[in-house]
Amino acid sequence: MHPEFQRALAAIVGGANVLTDERDTAGHFVDWRKQYRGVADCVVRPASTDEVAAVVKLCGREGVAIVPQGGNTGLSGGATPTGARREIVLSLGRMNRIREVDPLDDSLVAEAGCILTNVQQAAESAGRYFPVSLAAEGSCQIGGILSTNAGGVNVLRYGNTRDQVLGVEVVLADGSVWNGLRSLRKDNTGYDLKHLFIGAEGTLGIITAAVLKLRARPSASATAWIALETPAQAVELLARLRGQLGECVSAFELVSRRCLEAVLAHARDAQDPIATPHPWYVLVELEDNGTFESLQSRLEVALSDCIERGEVRDAAIAASHLQAAALWRIRESIPEAQFANVKHDVSVAVSRVPLLIERVEAALAKSFPGVRSYVFGHVGDGNLHYNIGEQALVARRPEVNRIVYDAVAGLGGSISAEHGLGQLKRDEITRHKQPLELDLMRSLKRALDPDGLMNPGKVL
Amino acid sequence: MHPEFQRALAAIVGGANVLTDERDTAGHFVDWRKQYRGVADCVVRPASTDEVAAVVKLCGREGVAIVPQGGNTGLSGGATPTGARREIVLSLGRMNRIREVDPLDDSLVAEAGCILTNVQQAAESAGRYFPVSLAAEGSCQIGGILSTNAGGVNVLRYGNTRDQVLGVEVVLADGSVWNGLRSLRKDNTGYDLKHLFIGAEGTLGIITAAVLKLRARPSASATAWIALETPAQAVELLARLRGQLGECVSAFELVSRRCLEAVLAHARDAQDPIATPHPWYVLVELEDNGTFESLQSRLEVALSDCIERGEVRDAAIAASHLQAAALWRIRESIPEAQFANVKHDVSVAVSRVPLLIERVEAALAKSFPGVRSYVFGHVGDGNLHYNIGEQALVARRPEVNRIVYDAVAGLGGSISAEHGLGQLKRDEITRHKQPLELDLMRSLKRALDPDGLMNPGKVL
């Protein structure tokens, strides 16, 4: 790094916040799955929006690109430098203030570096609820989950991270600051700019703070593990439960028998919730106001009807929070119980999930006899984590990807439901998106970042 | 109109669908409140996306601008020609097919010209619910409500029209067609383009079809008319009810005593729901699954607690659907009961509604002693229709506007919560938006419509 550039950065953020020593930078130059590595000039840690703006202006003058980084828990390499040009990593972690909590407005203002669990807790302290919840919540940051429009386990009821945002503050590519920190449920005064920056993975500007929506905190939940014959039964069950119980259906997770077996083999304390084996399962959760007993009995009535009609083979309703936690532990152990295989994060219309599974299984059986696939995911969102093994197949990843992605494309689906494009799917997406849509994205990129300094080599 | 241009249009849509006779065009050249009039070359009525695309291409070659028009029920002149240049009105009404209803996916695909009630009914026929509901629902069209991101009475629970959209099909300024008709709950593969076109009032492209989200249909509702001392009590009551009852609070409408009196004077059959007069009222509705009786009793318990604590002065809970309808009729009669005054459609953070009313009342009293204001609206969304009379003040509209808009601006609010900018607030908005935000909007406009042919003279 040029000493003058370093001095200029230090003048903005303080010398201690320009990291150049390898021991300090190493963790910032690699993603957490260690799939991507790239060296940048340094890691800069601003403490305020003004400091971010000054750093961006300086980088603009020097022609240095900027890689914004939050908790660095992304799965697509979107926060890792590419090494293809002069870059700095801009780490937002010091901007971790919750600026305001307003329970009467059901909103709070958080800076980009706030860790998700801290935001959840701030909402809880105010008697409210922030519904975004995902595995990395103890280390991922607000700026990161907004920039990747993170999903998680509550999307069915509350929507993606995008749907939890009322306003944003963004440092633009020229270092100017757009103060869009409005807390308005309704505002029809022109183009909705916030949605442009949310999910853009830092390629159009740097989100430095956000106004987040809070919700009423449900007072009770009821959980069941349900055995089914086919994925089609799962989709029909979801429609029936929502028709009967309404929007309180807050989770609806599909699990194949093979996933359950992997968990039973992997986790010592795990138990099969239903004595007899069945080909497919669904983990259902209801959340609502009222008592645990009343919610449990509503779920029981609904499921008994389904069993009577033959739409469900069997069901185990959790009799306590402890039992509910054990059911969730099975679902949450699936990723670690079947690690060495080719993973996908895809989505289709909810009604097309059965067809997707049917087509992928048929194509896999043809190309890779004896293949073992692990199918699970947020079927209520049409989102499957479709993992294909065993390990030997990892070497043939492109062929396996091709089968899954072609089936997804044939059904009008998405090759990245939750995890974004980053570096991982930047090339692949050009095979799937209408060229016109890519052109539209490029023209927005040119309009907002004409010099291409915002997180280059990601998304587009 | 040049005869050749007319022939070329007729070759695309058929001669009968190029309207030039004044008797046919008159209704298309004026908005329904008759505030805006402008003459265009003709009204063109395409029947398909391809026809729209061909018309846009032709207009591009001829340098003729396009004013898209749906049910023509807008309140800001956004669908009326300005007369400032050569334009055609593109009326989408013939594109009125519901292309698909998928109850298992909780979605439907509707063309831009579908009337809102027809979409609501298609959802209902499939056992589902499309929650957008507003006064013009019998004539407004899907393309219009998407382009203006319409609000209405269900925003508190379900969000604005924007939040009901999974995908859109758009004819761009160069006549190319972006097929974004994806029905995906999760899709993180690049910039979210649909949100750019939703709410853009046709200035970035023409929405020709959309995939709309459906919901579970609530089986019961409970309704109450609640008397309060102050607007601050209304905001606190909302937080308390949502905390206690959860997201089933589906409407929360503020009504001032003066609004109620106007309705009682105007509508013969209207009755004061509570014998004693009170300064403020709220109309609350819960919607949920379960029975009418159970919902009613939940509302009763919650309100009794509030009355005991002195947070509510009195309350009348509807004992039947008939009584509930009578309460809603009061709320819905307010606009026609106080017509001749200066109207506003503003929003602030929900918690700031009391402060907004306080500041506007103080400023009004100072400038216009004896002024009568009619305050009502969707306070659960921070959205007030703040109408100020009597009639004599209409001549002093700019001064009255200034008082309201300055108070709104001082509280970080919006001068157009529901109704868009159109022609009506196109100039005013430049006083309120950060210049940077206007620049951002202009650069998006340039990127997507470089020749300025899409609904010129609106929004920007």
Q: Which among A259, A225, A272 has a CA at the least distance from the CA of A339?
A: A259
In tens, the pLDDT along B14-64 reads 999 999 999 999 999 999 989 999 999 999 999 999 999 999 999 999 999
Question: Given 3-state DSSP classes, what are the helix, strand and coil percentages for chain A, each rounded to the nearest 5?
Answer: 40, 20, 40
- Which chain B residues contact residue A107 at CB under 8 A? 349
Distance in angstroms between the alpha carbons of the first and the last residue of chain B? 27
DSSP element (H, E) containing A249: strand A249-256
pLDDT at A6: 97
- Residue A40, amino acid: A
- Which chain A residues contact residue B351 at CB under 8 A? 102, 104-105
Give the pTM: 0.96
Work out the number of other CB atoms within 10 angstroms of the CB of residue B97. Answer: 14
Angle at A306 between CA A303 and CA A311, to 5 degrees: 130
Whether residue B427 lies within 8 A of chain A, CB to CB, comes out as no
pLDDT score of A427 more than 80: yes
**Once rounded to an integer, what is the mean pLDDT over residues A226-236?**
98
**Once rounded to an integer, what is the mean pLDDT over residues A54-61?**
98
SS (H, E, C) B232-249: HHHHHHHHHHHHHHHHHE
Distance in angstroms between the alpha carbons of the first and the last residue of chain A? 27
pLDDT at A376: 96
For A233, the closest chain B residue by CA position comes to B104
CA distance A373 to A361: 8
Of A191, A248, A349, the CB nearest to B199: A191
Asked if B303 contacts B353 with a C-beta cutoff of 8 angstroms, the reply is: no
pLDDT at A392: 87
Work out the number of other CB atoms within 10 angstroms of the CB of residue B359. Answer: 18
Whether residue A331 lies within 8 A of chain B, CB to CB, comes out as no
Q: Do B185 and A239 touch (CB under 8 A)?
A: no
Whether residue A109 lies within 8 A of chain B, CB to CB, comes out as no
Asked if B365 contacts B420 with a C-beta cutoff of 8 angstroms, the reply is: no
Of A349, A381, A441, the CB nearest to B107: A349
- Which chain A residues contact residue B234 at CB under 8 A? none
Angle at B23 between CA B21 and CA B26, to 5 degrees: 100
Asked if A293 contacts A314 with a C-beta cutoff of 8 angstroms, the reply is: no
pLDDT at B1: 84
Whether residue B429 lies within 8 A of chain A, CB to CB, comes out as yes
pLDDT at A191: 98
- Residue B99, amino acid: R
**Once rounded to an integer, what is the mean pLDDT over residues A2-12?**
97
- Which chain A residues contact residue B185 at CB under 8 A? 155-156, 160, 347, 350, 380-383
Of B107, B193, B414, the CB nearest to A187: B414
pLDDT score of A135 more than 90: no
pLDDT score of A338 more than 90: no
Q: Which residues, listed in sequence order, are joined to residue B373 by a DSSP beta bridge?
A: B388
Structure tokens at A300: 């029981």
Asked if A111 contacts A168 with a C-beta cutoff of 8 angstroms, the reply is: no
Enumerate the H helices of B309-434 as residue ranges. 321-337, 353-367, 397-410, 429-432
Whether residue A124 lies within 8 A of chain B, CB to CB, comes out as no
DSSP letters spanning A297-341: HHHHHHHHHHHHTTS-SEEEE-SSHHHHHHHHHHHHHHHHHT-SS
- Which chain A residues contact residue B237 at CB under 8 A? none
Alpha carbon B330 to its chain's center: 20
pLDDT band of A1, cuts 50, 70, 90: confident
Of B107, B160, B247, the CB nearest to A186: B160
Q: Which among A205, A210, A60 has a CA at the least distance from the CA of A143?
A: A210
Q: Which residues, listed in sequence order, are joined to residue B374 by a DSSP beta bridge?
A: B387
Whether residue B236 lies within 8 A of chain A, CB to CB, comes out as yes
Whole-number Cα distances in Å, B357 to B234, B339, B381, B384, B433 = 12, 20, 15, 9, 22
Question: Residues 399-418, chain A: which have Cβ within 8 Å of B?
Answer: 412-418
CA distance A352 to A234: 11
Alpha carbon B114 to its chain's center: 16
Q: Is the ipTM of this complex over 0.90?
A: yes
Structure tokens at A201: 């993975």
Distance between A366 CA and the closest CA of chain B, angstroms: 28
Distance between B216 CA and the closest CA of chain A, angstroms: 5
CA distance B413 to B217: 33
pLDDT band of A344, cuts 50, 70, 90: very high
Whether residue A297 lies within 8 A of chain B, CB to CB, comes out as no
Backbone torsions φ then ψ of A119, nearest 5 degrees: -70, -45
- Lowest model confidence (mean pLDDT) among A65-69, A106-110, A135-139, B17-21: A135-139
Whole-number Cα distances in Å, A337 to A260, A268, A295, A332, B3 = 9, 11, 32, 9, 72
DSSP element (H, E) containing A259: helix A257-266
CA distance B37 to B335: 23
CA distance A298 to B298: 17
Whether residue B351 lies within 8 A of chain A, CB to CB, comes out as yes
CA distance A315 to A310: 12
Structure tokens at B207: 């929405």
**Once rounded to an integer, what is the mean pLDDT over residues A111-134?**
97
Question: Residues 20-49, chain A: which have Cβ within 8 Å of B?
Answer: none
For A176, the closest chain B residue by CA position comes to B436
Whether residue A454 lies within 8 A of chain B, CB to CB, comes out as no
- Interface test mutation site (partner A, options B105, B106, B186, max chain A beta carbons within 10 A): B186
Whether residue A427 lies within 8 A of chain B, CB to CB, comes out as no
A-B contacts (CB, under 8 Å): 270
Of B184, B351, B414, the CB nearest to A102: B351
* CB burial readout B64-79, b (16+ within 10 A) else e: bbbbbbbbbbbbbbbb
DSSP letters spanning A74-108: -SSSTTS--SSS-EEEEE-TT---EEEEETTTTEE
For A241, the closest chain B residue by CA position comes to B216
Question: Residues 134-193, chain B: which have Cβ within 8 Å of A?
Answer: 148-149, 151, 155-156, 159-160, 162-163, 172, 176-180, 182-193
In tens, the pLDDT along A291-327 reads 999 999 999 999 999 999 999 999 999 999 999 999 9
CA distance B366 to B258: 20
- Which chain A residues contact residue B182 at CB under 8 A? 412, 414
Distance between A417 CA and the closest CA of chain B, angstroms: 4
pLDDT at A233: 97
Q: Do B184 and A413 touch (CB under 8 A)?
A: yes
pLDDT at B338: 83
Backbone torsions φ then ψ of A307, nearest 5 degrees: -65, -45
Q: Do A195 and B196 touch (CB under 8 A)?
A: yes
In tens, the pLDDT along B251-271 reads 999 999 999 999 999 988 899
- Which chain B residues contact residue A199 at CB under 8 A? 188, 190-192
pLDDT at A118: 98
Asked if B342 contacts B400 with a C-beta cutoff of 8 angstroms, the reply is: yes
Q: Do B185 and A382 touch (CB under 8 A)?
A: yes
Angle at A60 between CA A89 and CA A64, to 5 degrees: 45
Q: Do B352 and A289 touch (CB under 8 A)?
A: no
Residue ranges, chain B, pLDDT below 70:
none
DSSP 3-state assignment of B377? strand
CA distance B297 to B293: 6
- Give the residue carrying structure tokens 């216009």: B368
Q: What percent of chain A has pLDDT over 90?
A: 92
List CB contacts of B132: < 8 A, sequence separation 6 or more.
B116, B120, B145, B150, B152, B154, B158, B161, B164
Work out the number of other CB atoms within 10 angstroms of the CB of residue B117. Answer: 15
CA distance B458 to B200: 9
Whether residue A105 lies within 8 A of chain B, CB to CB, comes out as yes
For B246, the closest chain A residue by CA position comes to A216
> Is the link from the previous residue into A390 a cis peptide, with omega within 30 of 0?
yes
Work out the number of other CB atoms within 10 angstroms of the CB of residue B420. Answer: 29
Structure tokens at B35: 């505030």
- Which chain B residues contact residue A180 at CB under 8 A? 437
CA distance A328 to A325: 5
pLDDT at A214: 97
Whether residue B63 lies within 8 A of chain A, CB to CB, comes out as no
pLDDT score of A279 more than 80: yes
Q: Do B243 and A217 touch (CB under 8 A)?
A: yes
DSSP letters spanning B50-87: HHHHHHHHHHHHHT-EEEEESS---SSSTTS--SSS-E
CA distance B312 to A151: 40
Angle at A67 between CA A66 and CA A72, to 5 degrees: 160
Whether residue A16 lies within 8 A of chain B, CB to CB, comes out as no
DSSP element (H, E) containing A293: helix A292-308
pLDDT at A390: 81
Q: Do A440 and B460 touch (CB under 8 A)?
A: no
**HSE-up of B118 (CA within 13 Å, CB side)?**
18
Whether residue A115 lies within 8 A of chain B, CB to CB, comes out as no
CA distance B185 to B213: 9
Distance between B419 CA and the closest CA of chain A, angstroms: 7
Asked if A110 contacts A119 with a C-beta cutoff of 8 angstroms, the reply is: yes
